[in-house]
A = this chain, B = another copy of it.
């Protein structure tokens, strides 16, 4: 006997070995009551012996829930998105969800990523760092039945089950700018991220708002692509302009490029020009000079966001076959308007002051 069995052991096998019914095995595994300690032990022993593992497919099939959260993230190793991903996974596992990732490339990538996640079966989605569709690209549309978490309002993404929690880029831009203004600079220049990224627009908005609030002039913003190379290019432009004494750069990588361009142009940081970055990458403290930057608490953001998302999943009447239920009327919740809607109550970022910022030189 013992024909080379290839399929993993099932709960029936465990039941047979333990000499109980299959249902009892199920009870033990789910920690349900009404099982003798003695039987429980026997079942557990049998399961261990067989190397039994619950078949999640069967479970999901019956429950209609996958216990899996899908994350569409930008396909890059940028520090911010990667850190957020790690934090999200940790939190997801903590609250009992498996974690699927699909990276988006440029353009319609987010849509493809979301499609791929939906196809494999997830209970909810996290849209981590979407970028706007390129011209002609279709807008992100998600099945309204699937709960979605995003970290800022996403143009075109609305629906009854969309939850938003903030990694407030606006606040970050504001803090950076106010720090420089507070040091006495007449105004602050800005090297922005790509305009197609909502996160980049947020930071720029915070910068703009802080300038306006202080009555400072708004210089034209340079736009980069998050890379040191693009920061270097922007930095060359800024270095050539003697009026520039303070710069807020939308991420640390670009700030590295800016720092280098300033160094090459012989403009001392912070004596002649102050620079603030954003992200607080591990290298930030070891640049020349160590970089003043803005730091976000990704762990907190992930925890908060996934808690909301889990609640939204639970809200689903996944109780099936209750045909005579009170038929609550569709209940539309906050029909989000198009455009750039409400700012979510975000987790505040945090300014880390190092040596790249100082009061402006006395003329």
Contacts and interface: CB of A to CB of B under 8 A. Distances in A.
Contacts of A143: 51
B75 A90 contact: yes
A260 B282 contact: no
Interface in A248-272: 253, 256-257, 259-260, 263
Given A103-B89, A120-B68, A283 B6 contact: no
Q: Which of A54, A99, A317, A318 has the most CB of B within 10 A?
A: A99
A100 to B, nearest CB: 5
A118 B56 CA distance: 10
Contacts of A227: 282
A286 B231 contact: yes
Interface stretch (A78-86, A147-155, A215-223, A332-340): A78-86
A318 B86 contact: no
A60 B256 CA distance: 48
What are the nearest 3 A-B pairs in CB distance?
A: A77-B82, A57-B60, A98-B120
Interface of A: 3-4, 6-8, 51, 53-61, 64, 66-68, 75-77, 79, 82-83, 85-86, 89-90, 93, 98-103, 105, 116, 118-121, 143, 145, 227-229, 231-232, 253, 256-257, 259-260, 263, 282-283, 285-288, 316-318, 320, 323, 325, 327
27 contacts: A3-B325, A4-B327, A6-B317, A6-B318, A51-B143, A53-B119, A54-B119, A56-B120, A56-B121, A57-B57, A57-B61, A75-B90, A77-B77, A77-B82, A85-B101, A90-B103, A90-B105, A93-B102, A98-B119, A99-B100, A99-B101, A228-B282, A228-B283, A228-B286, A229-B285, A256-B283, A260-B286
Given A53-B119, A89-B102, A93-B116, 12 more contacts: A4-B317, A57-B58, A68-B120, A82-B82, A90-B103, A93-B102, A98-B119, A228-B282, A228-B283, A228-B285, A253-B282, A283-B283
